[in-house]
Structure 1
Amino acid sequence: MGSCLSAESRSPVPGSPASPAVGFKKRKNSKKRMGSRNSSFEYRRDEPLHRIPGRMILNGSSEVASLFTQQGKKGTNQDAMIVWENFGSRTDTIFCGVFDGHGPYGHMVAKRVRDSLPLKLSAHWEVNITSEDVLKEISLNSAGSINSEDTPIISADEDSRASIDLEEADKHPEIFQILKESFPKAFRVMDRELRLHPSIDCFCSGTTAVALVKQGQDLVIGNVGDSRAVLGTRDKDDYLSAVQLTVDLKPNLPAEAERIRKCRGRVFALQDEPEVARVWLPNNDSPGLAMARAFGDFCLKDFGLISVPDISHRRITEKDEFIVLATDGIWDVLSNKEVVDIVASAPVRSSAARFLVESAVRAWRYKYPTSKIDDCAAVCLFLDTNSSSTASNTKLKEPLTTVDEAEMCNEKEELSGPTTLNRSGTVRSGNGTLQEGSNGDASREEEIPTDEGIDWSALEGVSRVNTLLTLPRFVPGKEDKKNPK
């Protein structure tokens, strides 16, 4: 039936961790050691997420990071963000992420991924560390031969590692070897959980994700969608420069477009926005998704859309100063260099993310006065934390004074469902909103310019919506009784 088979469509891994319950109470008699393989994950799952020390999801700052998000003019803020210090009970480890939801339930998807993905990554990380230790011990005992007759078989399923790539291990540190397996597993389990979620309809809603793990001097990044991570670093002349750490995974990238078309999905841009490539169903002019990878969006998962992350590693040097993770509301109006310069010029580090978001909002108003400003979210992670930074512990003032109030507000927001059911009301400059069914001639697939390797402001004059149309929810084989309109 034209399905696109990928790693994420495999059967569930036996014993994979269940999704965390945000409001679940601690076990009164639990006395597990935090150092055991499952203890930290069980502890995190049982503890209310908003009470975990070092975990920040609201506007604010710590000694090493600054976070800020601001709602645009499209409705509910669909961006989410997180900084989690001492991640996985490791004192030298930080998890950062930004998530840009889209579709009628995009705000719910983004928050669900924000809360669940770090737990799943931590769980798979611990399992892979244990597997690594076992493999090393067997390798030593078997004189370098894992497949000898006296050696038991280690791999019980296709997701387990059966051998160690020694050449690859020489190129990258151990943390990358472990996380390059943990990231895809966690992303796959996360997407499967969204598909089966009882109260979040992810059929035409989804989210991007840029997740970063910093352990010591090593950075490992997993990326899905078109949010972006950029490094601020000093060049050989000691000038501050910008290095893009992720690739915007959009349908105009040749490899992404080829995969989608092989799975019978279509890739083309509308006539009034030729810069924005979109993904369409084989026989319907919908949903017009402006990215090639995403969590959720299950209407397109059989037609080339995937949630497999692009994973990269970087070793931090003394010239690297900070990393900015941001949703496309930032990159649509500011270049990489502009973002780095804005963060570096912030009055204090604790307000860097807020300074960046407010600068992006001003850029939206100046460049696209007739367009609706997109939601913006930014996380600034500072690498040279030994440097003096004025008021680094100062918290940014927020409308919500406590995390409990914020969580209560989020629950009310999610229960209310989508604020707009058909499509976002973003207005392209001078053209008004797109009418449903425009450019019905689906046979005309245009050549889309590729942006790979170019430092640019993402739209260069176009303000887009991520999905144009919303499809009715249906179950294959059953008659849909809902009104499709």
Structure 2
Amino acid sequence: MGGCVSTRNQSSCYKIKGTRKTLSSHVTTLQHLSAVPNRIVTNGKNRTSCIFTQQGRKGINQDAMIVWDDFMAEDVTFCGVFDGHGPHGHLVARKVRDMLPLTLLSFLHSYELKRSGSSTSCFTGNHKPDGGDPWEDAEEEKAASLWREAFLKSYKAMDKELKSHPNLDCFCSGSTAVTIVKQGSNLYMGSIGDSRAILGSKDSSDRMVAIQLTVDLKPDLPREAERIKRCKGRVFAMEDEPEVSRVWLPFDDAPGLAMARAFGDFCLKEYGVISIPEFSHRTLTESDKFIVLASDGVWDVLSNEEVVEIVSTAPTRSSAARLVVESAACEWKSKYPTSKMDDCAVVCLFLDGKMDSEPDYNEQGFSSALQQCFVPIMQQNPTMATTPSPHYREISPSDYQK
């Protein structure tokens, strides 16, 4: 619940960096992103997914999100949620949203050029090993290893780009990232911070279950705390917020970062905070129905199981992401009436690739708790589920220069 705090009004953390080297060549590509087909970054839907974000009560919305179908090839989808924090967190999150996929594409393209003489590629779509052939198994392991390398290099390059940005101060600002690439039946995931991805799947009894795909990389995890302390950083919670462990400088009670890994936050990079993603690979099955990515504004108040129930019982697939956010807003008011609601961002990716396959609202049973949260909202505004919000725009390169 929250990115950075400080126990002092003025801290040595809040230094202004001098101008560093210029932007990379990716910037020119940023100018054309809005014209890329099947790429969405604002409230709405495309042919496989729906996305929605809502500003909390802490100021400007610092969450960002993306779905990019036909990413690199057909049947390949890139999804991401990014939760910014600090004075410039909103700009960091949006910059990562725009540049991280391009950086990943750049590494994949470089690999393809090296393999230009080969008749096969690990990065094309429809890569579906049958699971019984040792050769196919070896190819799958090789592909996963290459994707891992691409994710790690991309995250490293992204953080380097932020550090060298001439007009964006990331000394005490940063962002989480939870990113996935779906390539046929293969799912590759990389994440830093406390944004999360879950899978909605049917068990042997045909019941929907929630499977957590990523780990919330917070400072209270033993391995994370050990690394931070080994690097002379400090980990402790504030007295008025004992449930939230934070990272502090060794010589000052600042900045109080509530995650152990993040982009930016360069004041803490020498003290154990890293931007190396946790990478994993999963082979999807026909039982797997959808994936949900969300920022901690959702996970602070809704369980994995509640989110899966909301999505699986949504009256339309295109309304699923918004209903998760509206339900989270309801729970914030109920559970934390004196606290300011956090920003929320949600991506729902439906694995059958169909957004026009709408579950019958009358045949799906909502739990009573969820009915109280979002059924009245749907009744008050029946068009809301399919009407994108007009209040969000795509960031342009000029925003980074402000």
- Structure 2 length-normalised TM: 0.80
Greater relative contact order (Cα < 8 A, sep 6+): 2
1:271 equivalenced with 2:231 (yes/no): no
CA contact (8 A) 1:124 1:186 kept: yes
1:214 equivalenced with 2:214 (yes/no): no
Provide runs of 4+ in structure 1 moved above 6 Å: 133-137, 166-169, 410-416
CA 1:77–1:122: 2 relative to 1, 3 Å: same
1:406 equivalenced with 2:390 (yes/no): no
Identity %: 54
Amino acid at match of 2:108: W
After superposition, residues 458-469 of structure 1 pair within 5 angstroms as: none
CA 1:333–1:413: 2 relative to 1, 3 Å: farther
Residues 158-201 of structure 1, C-alpha deviation per residue, up to 9 Å, x if partnerless?
Answer: xxxxxxxx999738444322210000111111100100101110
Gapped runs of 5+ residues in structure 2?
Answer: 1-22, 121-133, 360-384
Q: Is the helix fraction higher in 1 or 2? A: 2
The 2-side partners of 1:415 and 1:363 are apart by 37
Shift of 1:272: 2.2
Residue of structure 2 equivalent to 1:113: 96
After superposition, residues 448-467 of structure 1 pair within 5 angstroms as: none
CA 1:83–1:297: 2 relative to 1, 3 Å: same
CA 1:357–1:64: 2 relative to 1, 3 Å: same
Residue of structure 2 equivalent to 1:383: 351
Amino acid at match of 1:20: H
Amino acid at match of 2:110: V
Residue of structure 1 equivalent to 2:77: 94
Residue of structure 1 equivalent to 2:38: 54
The 1-side partners of 2:25 and 2:303 are apart by 37
Residue of structure 2 equivalent to 1:397: 388
Amino acid at match of 1:59: N
Classify the secondary structure of the residue corresponding to 1:213.
Answer: strand
CA 1:366–1:46: 2 relative to 1, 3 Å: closer
The 1-side partners of 2:25 and 2:331 are apart by 39
1:69 equivalenced with 2:56 (yes/no): no
The 2-side partners of 1:171 and 1:331 are apart by 36
Q: Is the strand fraction higher in 1 or 2? A: 2
The 2-side partners of 1:129 and 1:120 are apart by 14
CA contact (8 A) 1:249 1:292 kept: yes
Shift of 1:46: 7.0
Amino acid at match of 1:98: V
1:176 equivalenced with 2:160 (yes/no): no
Residue of structure 2 equivalent to 1:367: 335
After superposition, residues 142-221 of structure 1 pair within 5 angstroms as: 170=138, 172-221=140-189
Q: What is the aligned residue count?
A: 343
The 1-side partners of 2:59 and 2:399 are apart by 11
- Structure 1 length-normalised TM: 0.67
Q: What RMSD, in angstroms, separates the aligned Cα atoms of the two structures?
A: 2.6
Shift of 1:126: 2.0
After superposition, residues 295-374 of structure 1 pair within 5 angstroms as: 295-374=263-342
The 2-side partners of 1:363 and 1:100 are apart by 20
Classify the secondary structure of the residue corresponding to 1:321.
Answer: strand
Classify the secondary structure of the residue corresponding to 2:273.
Answer: coil
The 2-side partners of 1:386 and 1:406 are apart by 25
CA 1:369–1:53: 2 relative to 1, 3 Å: same
Amino acid at match of 2:89: G
Residues 269-314 of structure 1, C-alpha deviation per residue, up to 9 Å, x if partnerless?
Answer: 1222221111111111111100000000000000111000000011
Residues 448-477 of structure 1, C-alpha deviation per residue, up to 9 Å, x if partnerless?
Answer: xxxxxxxxxxxxxxxxxxxxxxxxxxxxxx
Classify the secondary structure of the residue corresponding to 1:276.
Answer: strand
CA 1:49–1:379: 2 relative to 1, 3 Å: same
CA contact (8 A) 1:19 1:193 kept: no
Classify the secondary structure of the residue corresponding to 1:94.
Answer: strand
CA contact (8 A) 2:47 2:354 kept: no
Shift of 1:389: 1.6
Classify the secondary structure of the residue corresponding to 2:151.
Answer: helix
Residues 134-171 of structure 1, C-alpha deviation per residue, up to 9 Å, x if partnerless?
Answer: 7999xxxxxxxxxxxxxxxxxxxxxxxxxxxx999738
CA 1:176–1:348: 2 relative to 1, 3 Å: same
Classify the secondary structure of the residue corresponding to 1:269.
Answer: strand
Shift of 1:128: 2.5
Residue of structure 2 equivalent to 1:42: none
Larger Rg: 1
Amino acid at match of 1:371: S
CA 1:46–1:72: 2 relative to 1, 3 Å: closer
Gapped runs of 5+ residues in structure 1?
Answer: 1-16, 25-44, 138-165, 417-485
Residue of structure 2 equivalent to 1:103: 86
CA contact (8 A) 1:61 1:351 kept: no
The 1-side partners of 2:31 and 2:390 are apart by 25
